[in-house]
Amino acid sequence: MRKNYGPVYALPSALWISAFFVVPISIIFMYSFLEKGLYGGVVWKFSLEAYRALSNCAFLKVSLMTVVLSVLATLITLALALPAAYFIARSRYKNTLLFLVIIPFWTNFLIRIYAWIAILGNSGFLNNFLLRLGITHGYTQFLYNPFAVIIVLVYTYLPFALLPLYSTIEKFDFSLLEAARDLGATNSQAIFRVLLPNIKTGIFTAVLFTFIPAFGQYAVPQLVGGRNSFMLGTIIARELTVTRNWPLSSSISVALTVLTTAGVLVFLRINNNLGGKTKAEHAASTRLHLQIKQHDA
């Protein structure tokens, strides 16, 4: 029997993750049950104040806004990514097209946000363009509203949705679509009842990669959002660095952590179940396909 070296190998990373992830998260959890100090920090006295504050109207509004913005951004991202991924998967120039999709995302994340500020800003490209054409007189405020946040979120996460969609669509057997049409399905029936059920896993991954990071977004609402488009991330940072209410910042962080983890777990669950079903469906449709072929022969 060989000596068990496992703990020796795993110890350094276990210690690092404990010290700089598990301990900090536990501290946040603890702070969320304490009273706030006068100038930031905490007072060591048990209190549920930070959680009571979560039920206040302003906070619920921000939560709702966060959900609405991230759901809309996810839906628009999917609507753009699905046809594009399908087109790439069916194209003869797959690799070139994929490459073209990835290149813009080699630039820094902040520069991609900045590009939109340069376009939509008050003295930005779009305003100058519209003024010169004489369509508008005076500047229009395109930035600092929920729409700007959605546009930039979609721009940021589009490739993260596109790539998993592409990889599942690429494996899809396109002759199934022809089979469906031969059997009298309309185009939309073929897409909704044959294509989409078969690429469910890709869709779920795309949603996961878009919704979760959008939900906890900080930089985007901070830079292109206004007072009416605060998200949970904005509030956490504000309570920490401006208002200096650390217990409240902690309780919101705890809420965000719990929500995200629960979301991912439910998601993985559903995805696993779907994965099973998709395989069965796939098997069934393949069998159908073979029967059609035999029939033709």
Partner 1 sequence: MFTVTMVFFYAPLVVLIVFSFNNSKTMHWEGLSLRWYHELFFNSRDLWNAFGNSVLIALTSASLSTVLGTLGAIGIYWYNFRFKKYVQIASFLPLILPEIIIGVSLLILFAAIGLKLGLLTIFIAHVTFNLPYVLLIVSSRLDEFDHSIIEAAYDLGAREIDALLRVIVPVSMPGIIAGFLVSITLSLEDFVITFFVAGPGASTLPLHIYSMIRFGVSPVINALSVVLIAGSIILAFSTQGIYKYIFQK
**Is residue 62 a contact point for partner 1 (CB under 8 A)?**
no
162 vs 179, which CB is nearer to partner 1? 162
In the complex with partner 1, which residue's Cβ is closer, 179 or 214? 214
Residue range at the interface with partner 1 (CB under 8 A); choices 22-30, 45-53, 172-180, 285-293? 22-30
Residue 43 tokens read as 């007072």
By CB under 8 A, what part of segment 91-150 binds partner 1? 100-101, 103-104, 106-119, 121, 123-125, 127-128
Of 127 and 229, the one with the shorter C-beta distance to partner 1 is 127
| DSSP-based three-state secondary structure for 3 | coil
Residue 192 binds to partner 1 (criterion: CB under 8 A): no
Residue 183 contacts partner 1 per CB under 8 A: no
180 vs 208, beta carbon nearer partner 1? 208
Beta strand 42-46 pairing with 34-36:
antiparallel
Distance CA 211, CA 233 (A): 14
CA angle at 31 for the pair 26 and 32, rounded to the nearest 5°? 100
| 174 binds partner 1, rule: CB under 8 A | no
| Total interface residues for partner 1 by CB under 8 A | 79
- Cβ count within 10 A of residue 51: 16
**What is the SS3 assignment for 57-114?**
HHHHHHHHHHHHHHHHHHHHHHHHHHHHHHHHHHCCCHHHHHHHHHHHHHCCHHHHHH
Letters for 66-85 (x = contact with partner 1 by CB under 8 A, - = none) are: --------------xx-xx-
CB neighbour list of residue 14: distance below 8 Å, 6 or more residues apart: none
Show the tokens assigned to 146.
Answer: 């929920």
DSSP letter string over 183-213?
TT--HHHHIIIIIHHHTHHHHHHHHHHHHHH
Q: Which is nearer to partner 1, 50 or 179 (CB)?
A: 50
Q: Which of residues 207-266 bind partner 1 (CB under 8 A)?
A: 212-213, 215-219, 223, 233, 236-237, 240, 246, 249-250, 253, 256-257, 260-261, 264
Name the one range near partner 1 by CB under 8 A: 26-34, 173-181, 183-191, 286-294: 26-34
Distances, alpha carbon 11 to alpha carbons 3, 4, 15, 137, in Å: 16, 13, 6, 66
Residue 2 binds partner 1 (CB under 8 A): yes
Nearest to 219 by CA among 112, 63, 75: 112
Q: Does 197 bind partner 1 (CB under 8 A)?
A: no
Closest to partner 1 by CB, 111 vs 242, is 111
Nearer to partner 1 (CB atom), residue 200 or residue 218: 218
Closest distance of CB 289 from partner 1, Å: 27
Minimum distance of partner 1 from residue 90's CB (angstroms) = 10
Q: Which is nearer to partner 1, 24 or 276 (CB)?
A: 24
